Structure 1
Amino acid sequence: MPTAEPAPSGTGSPRPNTADLPTRMAEATGQRADTLFVTLFILGLAGLWTALLTVSSVTLSLRVADLSPDGKAAALSTIASAGAAVALFANPVFGRLSDLSASRWGQRRPFMIGGGLLGFAALLLIGVAPSLLVVGIGWCLAQLFFNAALAAITAVMPERIPDHLKGRVSGLMGMTSQVGVVAGTFIVQFTGTHGLGMFVVPGAIGVGLLLAFALHLREVPRSRAELPRFTLLDIPRSLWINPIRHRDFALAWLGRFLTWIAVSLLTTYKTYFLIDRLGYTSESAAPILFWAMLILAVTVILGSNVAGTLSDLVRRRKVFVIGASLIFGAGMVTVAAADSVEAFLVGVAVAGIGQGAYMGVDYAMVAALLPNKDTDAAKGMGVFNLSSTVPQTIAPALAPLFLAIGGGGNYTALYLGAGIFSVVGAVVIQFIRGSR
């Protein structure tokens, strides 16, 4: 990749190329972030989420129930926890390996293509698994390989998207996970809820979209001489970015971590809220949950795109992230006070707007704060992604503490606590200095 431009006639050494990273990447590859590039990028990310989240939200539980109808709850908890543990390490580790790649196919494409295809093979293994053990192995492999692809594709944001588009593209990125869940749930209606089809069809569509972007992406291979030597210490190092040396990045990570604890408390315990607080049965709560998920998806998409576009127009990121955390906190207060399903759905809608606005801008903000983004973009994005995956394991441990207040079943305390986490996250973001 060229890093210098010719010096004027009669001078000595060439001038360093001081252009930003996306500009230098565009010059090196001859490929700019035009409409086709951004469209394929967003579709590829949405496809990856479709392949992965359809399993975690729908088909994994169905497959476990087929194999163990009596012990399905405990079995699903064990398998899901094992997969989450793999995902926790896979994203930053493969991000670091992608940064160090000297493959002639580039740094990101091999991990997108290999991760997508091997992840799809893991879905097939789950679909034909004769036992829960094999299902568990298949899910861990799916998390491993799909997170390898995720680490590579999210590195495209800081490397290839110019500053004047980062807000809009961040907004589109923020909605891709919701699109993946909705698309996967829709597809499963046609494949049926038993057999291999419910894994093959959403997986094939999702991986196909991912491969379309990977094949479109142009990369200039880096020579081994340009890269630091890989050692085994790079594995643990991939999980760590010094929070003292990189204060702003650490604050962005912490702000998102706190907000995503609140998000996890909402999504994990909404079913029990309807049953224990509002008096619904498991069967009668199902249609309410469908409307809640639909409202959440629509408001996340709306909040994400509006906030991302506006942040580009006003050239500010931090104020939108702070505002989004406060809006989400207001949604949690509404849910905490809800004594009817209508009030609950209003709270979900407000929270969805806040969640979407946060997701629509924080990718753009962190792309500017990423440490060593010229060389370690995938590692940095992998570590940043932990701020939304770790809360999924912490929230279930925190929830019983809030619910136990006053004798048990205290959902008011649970969701007020979620609101507090979100507001504290907003306060943390205020102290970032390197972003407006």
Structure 2
Amino acid sequence: MSAPAPHDAPAAPDSREAGPELSARLTGQRVGGGFTALYILAMIGVWIALLTPASVTLSLRIADLDPGNKASSLALVAGVGAIFAMVSNPLFGHFSDRCTSRFGRRRPFIVIGTVVGGASLFVIGTAPSIPVVLVGWCLTQTAMNAAMAALIAVLPDRVPEGRRGTVSGLMGMTNQVATVGGTFLVTATGTHGLSMFVVPAGIGLVLVAVFAVYLKEVPQRKEAARSMSWLEIPRGLWINPLRHRDFAWAFVSRFLVWTGKALLLTYKTYFLMDHLGYTSYEAASILSWSMLVLAVGVVLGSNVSGWLSDKLQRRKIFIAVASLLFSTGMVVIARSSTVTGFVAGVAVASIGQGIYVGVDFALVVSVLPDSETDAAKGMGLFNIANALPQSIAPAIAPLFLTIGGGENYAALYLSAGGFALLGALAVGFIRAAR
């Protein structure tokens, strides 16, 4: 972390005046290629530390500790951890918005969150029982989401409007890059022992530390930060959807599209086994290739759409097209009877998903309420639209699967496409963005 600003350094005259141009003037640091590269690498670092256990190593650790009940134990740990993730993102975003540390508003949460998250992963790697794993995973979700809330807030804080599409496109691919990177890390570290938790955490901490040293922030004056009592915090984490309808429609759009995505990802294995007739071993091999296709589509779609949206200074049309493409991919999967059709559907859906995440952050920043003073809280609340579908999709999927007697995967994926179409319609109600 860089040295604190000297006492005679200029402090932001008022948090209400904060914004990319003012931040650049006060810190002398503008958003260029170097800033963007280190920012994106820091985000990849946090995602690697969090998603490697979420997608691979947490389930392996639980299987080692409780092989007879591994499915139910994983459901318990992951479900409770998801609740902590949803709460901590806006909560620590709220605290970051009001932070008056001499190190700035964002850096303390980015660094401390990553350090505590890494220590919590150490706890999981050495845990003697499932209850200890549960505690460790809840701490990991809390700390890493605190870091991510402050990290995402750097976008509205520091990135000018004319570059937000490009940076948003790069941000959109970080999740997929980290997931694929984490998978390869596990093959290097092995599937047992402490290293499969410590190595991703260490990589995340290094990438975050480099960005934290590079990032310049001016301390927020205490009189400029709005105070709030502990009793007022729950109310402060609420954004009234009737007063801020554009933000509400952006939230609804992301929630609907991500519900369709969750239905795809949650039941992809069972689709290959129950609908196409592959064994679990064969399905695992197919999924490895299909997830690589997904990652490539997301990376390409997000970067091209982000750059192009900056050039055209339009966001909504990209969100609508992305939702339609994702929906088309779901229809292809629903009608497929071969693995070729399945992979083709995933490819189409991945491009749609990439276009969506490439523009989505830039769109929501343009309709974010009180972005000068409450950017981290607002972005944290918006991120609930990512997490909530992961809990809802498994609950509603049986309603579609049981149509016609059971295992109706065509109905499931057609419904996923329907959710994406509704997401495209929701964007049309946003008025404050083009």
Asked whether the two chains share a fold, i.e. TM above 0.5, the reply is yes
- Aligned position for 2:274: 276
Deviation of 1:284 (Å): 1.4
Matched, 1:434 2:432: yes
Matched, 1:104 2:131: no
Instruction: Please tell me the residue identity of whatever aligns with 1:245.
Output: R
Which of the residues 407, 411, 417 maps onto 1:409? 407
Deviation per residue, 1:234-275 (Å, 9 max, x gap):
431343101111110110010010000000000110000001
Question: Following TM superposition, where does structure 1 have runs of at least 4 consecutive aligned residues deviating by more than 3 angstroms?
Answer: 1-4
Matched, 1:25 2:26: no
Matched, 1:392 2:390: yes
- Aligned position for 2:362: 364
Which structure 1 residue ranges, 5 or more long, are not aligned?
5-16
Which of the residues 172, 175, 192 maps onto 1:174? 172
Contact 1:92 1:239 in 2 (8 A): yes
Contact 2:12 2:219 in 1 (8 A): no
SS in 2 for 1:225: coil
Instruction: Please tell me the residue identity of whatever aligns with 1:88.
Output: M
Partners of 1:233 and 1:259 in 2: CA distance: 34
Contact 1:171 1:304 in 2 (8 A): yes
Instruction: Say how many residue pairs are matched.
Output: 423
Percent identical pairs in the alignment equals 56
- Aligned position for 1:421: 419
Contact 2:110 2:146 in 1 (8 A): yes
Partners of 1:348 and 1:394 in 2: CA distance: 21
Deviation per residue, 1:194-216 (Å, 9 max, x gap):
00000011110112111211221
- Aligned position for 1:244: 242
Which of the residues 258, 261, 276 maps onto 1:260? 258
Deviation per residue, 1:19-55 (Å, 9 max, x gap):
x821111111111111111100000001100000000
Output aligned runs, 1:64-143, within 5 Å.
64-143=62-141
Partners of 2:319 and 2:371 in 1: CA distance: 21
- Aligned position for 1:291: 289
TM-score (norm 2): 0.96
Which structure 2 residue ranges, 5 or more long, are not aligned?
1-10
Instruction: Please tell me the residue identity of whatever aligns with 1:402.
Output: F
Deviation per residue, 1:351-407 (Å, 9 max, x gap):
000011000001001111110011000001001111111111111111010101111
Partners of 1:346 and 1:284 in 2: CA distance: 18
Contact 2:44 2:178 in 1 (8 A): yes
Partners of 2:85 and 2:229 in 1: CA distance: 22
Partners of 1:239 and 1:421 in 2: CA distance: 27
SS in 2 for 1:279: coil
Instruction: Please tell me the residue identity of whatever aligns with 2:384.
Output: L
- Aligned position for 2:316: 318
Instruction: Please tell me the residue identity of whatever aligns with 1:345.
Output: V
* Compared CA separation, residues 168 and 338, structure 1 to 2 (3 A): same
Deviation of 1:233 (Å): 3.3
Which of the residues 182, 201, 204 maps onto 1:203? 201
Instruction: Please tell me the residue identity of whatever aligns with 2:199.
Output: V
- Aligned position for 1:60: 58
Instruction: Please tell me the residue identity of whatever aligns with 1:365.
Output: L
Deviation of 1:222 (Å): 1.1
Contact 1:95 1:238 in 2 (8 A): no
Output aligned runs, 1:3-14, within 5 Å.
3=13
- Aligned position for 2:155: 157
Instruction: Please tell me the residue identity of whatever aligns with 1:434.
Output: A
SS in 2 for 1:406: coil
